[in-house]
């Protein structure tokens, strides 16, 4: 059972001991029906060996949820579940036409995860087949749609989780104890403060630390990708207020590396607490982190962490849906909201204390509907302080209308096709590449351009596969298309995967025109740089930038007019004259100045204070001044290492 939004902020037993809550719950349940009761983080899970009670106790559980305002679930005790092979056979016979592709048994929690191409045929009319599965097997069936594109990464993550099922059960129970066993640090005063360990008057290394009388919660932990010096790449984790051993939780808003890169690094040095994010954020985050290890090793550098550290992160990740309310410490309650930025990206709403203070951390956001995502949410239960990004917050950061930008891109692409050149588009791992795929696929479908090969480097293909696995995080039009194979834009035959250096060489050498989507978006390593070395001295080719180019990055230098590039090749230096046409496309997954102002105007309720960060200093100060003048509310533009008392 899920905690509804209407009662999300009622805290009936929020500071009682776990034993007290369990004792109260048992008063509502007939004697001897529950074999064990434990936590899965903020959820309370009851296990029963009474099959009849498991099948016919829905009204009892609803009463418990209404009374205690907690998420409470009843499951069969693992001792009464049917043999796994027999369970597979029964489910396959009950859902013969569902095209079931996989079964995963989470035996510690009495759940069977079923992947099917037609999940509705496993659920049945009004859940009839699900009920029959429960009756005949005593397992709790969880149904997922089989993704149209197979993702080995998703399969690998599932394997990590289910291979460590026993550890996960103990870990989640431990998190629950931290939440419900009450205050550890001792409450002397009511106060809330936020420290900026990164991304204050800069774009990159996002990292904020929320401190309350009882909690230490980190919001994002990334690096400044464009910075050369490691000391300037990392957040200020040596700040006096940050102690890893005191950290209660990490919240990751989205999977871009300037927000999530260093999370495994924290596990490497001993962090054992939870990471909260959406499921697609977890998956893409892990993929990008794994890719950074590969790139570092290819370049002869020592990676900052290992594959095992990433696995530790996965084992400790707790995934939430948008608008799902959960306690994460005794005095902090978390809700994630759609930020409109990339797949699964979230704004973070934190309810501190029993009504003490409410914070919205937007992180990166987009307040307009794109061809793949819905616009950022604007309705919240309560809101006193907003922490907002300002990547494009300057007064001159105004994007052209979407149709105009699409038309300009179509003209550029048509010219490349006419000249038989190649178009290189450096992109971030998630979000921009898929928007471009949608745009090009639509142009081809409408016959506005000739069919053209679009090459995706391996990681981008994997991220696209993850998009198809989570259609509920896309806008409704794309969702409908993904549910119909013949209309799925990501399955268009124009898209080709590049999976090796040899395949990359063939793409570069082949005759004729094509589009190449490759990371990194700022040309600071990765395959995009390798393509540029080979394509940069040909005037028939085009280099199209679609994302923010950080200070110091190769992409920023090219936009500023560099016409000759020097690349190190061991002890040798390679000079490439830049004859390629350079074009900046107005396709951003960040809000521009107008959208940022409109977002604040649209928020319900309005914030009392707005803190501006994640932008170059001039843009941060400009936006802060404009918000104060227009909305007559307090604004702050902190520097790194500054702390602001919110309450």
Residues near 19 by beta carbon (within 8 Å), at least 6 away in sequence: none
343: pLDDT strictly greater than 80 = yes
Is residue 175 one of the residues assigned to a domain?
Answer: no
Measure the CA–CA gap between 346 and 338, rounded to whole angstroms: 5
For 130, 191, 349, 615, the CA distances from 330, given in Å and listed in that order, are 36, 15, 16, 33
Q: Which residue has the higher pLDDT, 442 or 16?
A: 442
What stretches of 121-265 adopt beta strand conformation (E)?
140-145, 193-198, 207-211, 216-219, 249-251
Residue 633 has a pLDDT of 96
Would you say residue 33 has pLDDT above 80?
A: yes
The CATH number given to whatever domain includes residue 9 is: 3.30.300.230
Q: Are residues 36 and 87 in the same domain?
A: no
Which residues lie across from 195 on neighbouring strands?
209, 643
CATH code for the domain of 376: 3.60.15.10
* Of the candidate ranges 154-163, 196-205, 385-394, the one whose mean pLDDT is the lowest: 154-163
Q: Is residue 496 part of a domain?
A: yes
Res 321: pLDDT:
97
pLDDT confidence band for 19 (50 / 70 / 90): low
Radius of gyration of the chain (CA): 26
CATH number at residue 87: 3.30.300.20
Q: How many CB atoms lie within 10 A of CB 12?
A: 12
Q: Could you tell me how many residues make up the chain?
A: 647
Residues 6+ apart with CB under 8 A from 177: 18, 39
Whether residue 123 is predicted with pLDDT greater than 50 in this model: the reply is: yes
Task: Quote the pLDDT of residue 409.
Answer: 86
Q: How far is the C-alpha of 263 from the C-alpha of 284, rounded, in Å?
A: 13
Strands in 249-251's sheet, in edge-to-edge order, are: 317-319, 275-277, 249-251, 216-219, 207-211, 193-198, 643-645
Asked if 409 and 372 sit in the same domain, the reply is no
User: Which range is least confidently modeled, 262-266, 292-296, 570-574?
Assistant: 570-574
**Cα distance between residue 332 and residue 187, in whole Å:** 14
Q: Residue 13: pLDDT band by 50, 70, 90 thresholds?
A: very low
Question: Of the given ranges (4-8, 228-232, 387-391), which has the lowest mean pLDDT?
Answer: 4-8
- For residue 229, is pLDDT > 50? yes
pLDDT band at 17; cut points 50, 70, 90: low
- Identify any residues that bridge with 361 across adjacent strands, giving them in sequence order: 348, 387
CA distance 50 to 533: 68
What's the mean per-residue pLDDT of the chain? 90
pLDDT (average), residues 415-427: 90
Window from 280-284, 322-326, 434-438, 457-461 with minimum mean pLDDT: 457-461
pLDDT at 295: 83
Q: Which residue has the tokens 């499921």?
A: 279
Q: How confident is the model at residue 188 (pLDDT cuts 50, 70, 90)?
A: low
Contact between 222 and 257 under an 8 Å Cβ cutoff? The reply is: yes
Answer yes or no: do 496 and 516 share one domain: yes
- Looking at 76, 97, 132, the residue that finishes a domain is 76
The number of domains in the chain is 4
Last residue of a domain, one of 28, 56, 76: 76
Spatial contact of 69 and 12, defined as CB atoms under 8 Å apart: yes
- Cα–Cα distance for residue pair 14/2, rounded to 1 Å: 17
Tell me if 173 is assigned to some domain.
no
The reply to whether 376 falls in a domain is: yes
pLDDT of residue 247: 98
Q: How far is CA 615 from CA 200, 389, 549, 550, 636, in A?
A: 7, 7, 12, 10, 13
Instruction: Say yes or no: 521 and 441 in one domain.
Output: yes
CATH number at residue 474: 3.40.50.10890
SS3 for 4? coil
Do 364 and 614 touch, CB atoms closer than 8 A?
Answer: yes
| 583 prior amide bond cis, ω within 30 | no
Q: How far apart are the first and last CA of the chain?
A: 34
Residue 104: how many other CB atoms lie within 10 Å: 17
Per-residue model confidence as pLDDT tens digits over 580-603: 999 888 778 899 999 999 999 999
342 and 407 share one domain: no
Based on the domain organization, do 70 and 86 belong to the same domain?
no
Separation CA 108–CA 37 (nearest Å): 13
Nearest-angstrom CA–CA distance, 188 and 190: 7
DSSP 8-class letter at 255: S
564 and 483, same structural domain? yes
* Tokens 């994007």, residue located: 399
Statement: residue 487 has pLDDT above 80? no
| 165 belongs to a structural domain | no
Shared domain check, 325 and 424:
no
Residue finishing a domain among 44, 60, 76? 76
Contact 140, 111 (CB under 8 A): yes
Cβ atoms < 10 Å from Cβ of 344: 33
Count CB atoms within 10 A of the CB of residue 345.
32
**How much of the chain exceeds pLDDT 90, in percent?**
63
Residues 158 and 352: their CA atoms lie apart, in Å, by 33
Q: Is residue 520 part of a domain?
A: yes
Q: Kindly state the average pLDDT of the residues 530-551.
A: 87
pLDDT at position 541 over 70: yes
**pLDDT, mean of residues 35-49:** 94
Residues 445 and 376 in one domain: no
Say what the pLDDT of residue 547 is: 77
Q: Could you please report the per-residue DSSP string of 343-402?
A: TT-EEEEEEETTTTEEEEEEES---S--SSSPPPP-B-S--SEEEEE-TT-STT--PPPH
Query: Among residues 56, 102, 94, 103, which one has the least CA distance to residue 76?
Result: 56
pLDDT band at 1 (very low <50, low <70, confident <90, very high): very low
Reported as type and span, the H/E element at residue 327 is strand 325-329
- Which candidate, 544, 254, 278, places its Cα nearest to that of 389? 254
Looking at residue 485, its pLDDT comes to: 64
**Amino acid 8: pLDDT:** 37
Domain span at residue 328 reads: 182-396+590-645
Q: Which residue has the tokens 């040309």?
A: 523
Token pair of 69 as six digits: 């305002």
248: confidence class by pLDDT, cuts 50, 70, 90:
very high
Q: Which residues contact 32 (CB under 8 A, 6 or more apart)?
A: none
Q: Is 316 inside any structural domain?
A: yes
The rounded percent of the chain whose pLDDT value lies above 70 is 95
Q: How far apart are CA 366 and CA 298, in angstroms?
A: 35
Rounded distance between C-alpha atoms, residue 451 and residue 445, angstroms? 9
Among all chains, which residue has been given the structure tokens 């903020």? 42
In a 13 Å sphere around the CA of 603, the CA atoms on its Cβ side amount to: 29
The answer to whether residues 481 and 425 belong to one domain is yes
CB contact at 8 A, 86 and 73: no
Q: Kindly state whether residue 155 falls inside one of the protein's structural domains.
A: no
Going by C-alpha positions, the residue among 556, 615, 607 that lies closest to residue 590 is 615
Q: Which residue has the higher pLDDT, 429 or 447?
A: 447
Residues 612 and 629 in one domain: yes
7-11, 87-91, 204-208, 497-501: the lowest-pLDDT one: 7-11
Shared domain check, 126 and 65: no
């Amino acid at each position: 059972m899920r905690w509804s939004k209407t009662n999300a902020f009622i805290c009936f037993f929020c500071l009682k001991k776990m034993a007290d809550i369990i004792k109260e719950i048992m008063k509502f349940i007939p004697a001897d029906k529950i074999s064990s009761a434990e936590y899965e983080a903020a959820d309370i899970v009851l296990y029963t060996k009474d099959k009849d009670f498991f099948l016919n106790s829905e009204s009892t559980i609803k009463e418990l949820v209404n009374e205690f305002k907690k998420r409470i679930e009843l499951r069969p005790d693992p001792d009464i579940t049917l043999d796994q092979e027999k369970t597979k056979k029964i489910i396959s016979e009950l859902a013969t036409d569902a095209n079931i592709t996989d079964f995963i048994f989470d035996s510690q929690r009495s759940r069977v995860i079923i992947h099917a191409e037609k999940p509705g045929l496993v659920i049945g009319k009004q859940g009839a087949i699900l009920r029959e599965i429960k009756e005949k097997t005593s397992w709790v069936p969880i149904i997922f749609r089989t993704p149209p594109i197979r993702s080995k990464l998703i399969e690998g993550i599932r394997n990590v989780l289910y291979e460590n099922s026993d550890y996960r059960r103990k870990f989640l129970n431990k998190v629950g104890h931290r939440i419900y066993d009450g205050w550890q640090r001792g409450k002397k005063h009511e106060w809330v403060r936020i420290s900026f360990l990164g991304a204050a008057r800069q774009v990159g290394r996002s990292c904020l630390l929320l401190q309350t009388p009882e909690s230490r919660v980190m919001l994002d932990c990334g690096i400044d990708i464009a910075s050369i010096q490691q000391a300037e790449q990392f957040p200020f984790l040596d700040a006096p207020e940050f102690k890893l051993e005191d950290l209660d939780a990490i919240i990751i808003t989205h999977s871009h590396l300037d927000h999530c890169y260093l999370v495994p690094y924290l596990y490497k040095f001993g962090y054992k607490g939870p990471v909260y994010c959406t499921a697609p954020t977890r998956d893409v985050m892990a993929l990008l982190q794994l890719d950074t290890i590969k790139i570092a090793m290819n370049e002869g550098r020592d990676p900052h962490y290992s594959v095992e550290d990433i696995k530790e992160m996965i084992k400790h990740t707790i995934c939430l849906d948008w608008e799902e309310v959960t306690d994460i410490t005794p005095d902090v309650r978390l809700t994630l909201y759609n930020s409109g930025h990339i797949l699964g990206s979230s704004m973070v709403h934190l309810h501190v204390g029993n009504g003490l203070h409410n914070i919205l951390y937007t992180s990166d956001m987009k307040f307009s509907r794109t061809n793949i995502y819905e616009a950022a949410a604007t309705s919240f239960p309560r809101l006193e302080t907003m922490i907002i990004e300002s990547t494009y917050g300057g007064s001159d950061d105004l994007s052209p209308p979407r149709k105009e930008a699409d038309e300009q891109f179509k003209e550029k692409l048509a010219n490349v096709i006419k000249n038989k050149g190649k178009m290189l588009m450096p992109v971030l791992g998630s979000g921009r590449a898929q928007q471009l795929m949608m745009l090009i696929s639509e142009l081809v479908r409408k016959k506005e351009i000739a069919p053209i090969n679009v090459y995706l480097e391996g990681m981008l293909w994997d991220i696209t596969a993850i998009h198809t696995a989570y259609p509920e995080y896309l806008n409704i039009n794309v969702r409908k298309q993904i549910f119909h194979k013949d209309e799925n834009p990501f399955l268009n035959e124009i898209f080709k995967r590049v999976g090796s250096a040899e395949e990359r060489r063939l793409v570069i050498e082949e005759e004729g025109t094509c589009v190449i989507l490759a990371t990194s978006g700022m040309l600071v390593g990765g395959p995009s740089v390798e393509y540029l070395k080979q394509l940069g001295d040909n005037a028939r080719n085009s280099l199209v930038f679609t994302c923010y180019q950080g200070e110091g990055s190769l992409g920023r230098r090219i936009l500023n007019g560099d016409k000759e590039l020097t690349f190190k090749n061991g002890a040798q230096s390679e000079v490439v004259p830049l004859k390629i046409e350079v074009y900046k496309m107005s396709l951003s997954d960040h809000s521009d100045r107008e959208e940022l102002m409109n977002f604040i105007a649209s928020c319900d309720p309005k914030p009392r204070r707005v803190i501006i960060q994640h932008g170059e200093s001039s843009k941060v100060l400009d936006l802060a001044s404009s918000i104060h003048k227009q909305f007559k509310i307090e604004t702050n533009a902190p520097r790194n290492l500054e702390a602001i008392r919110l309450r």
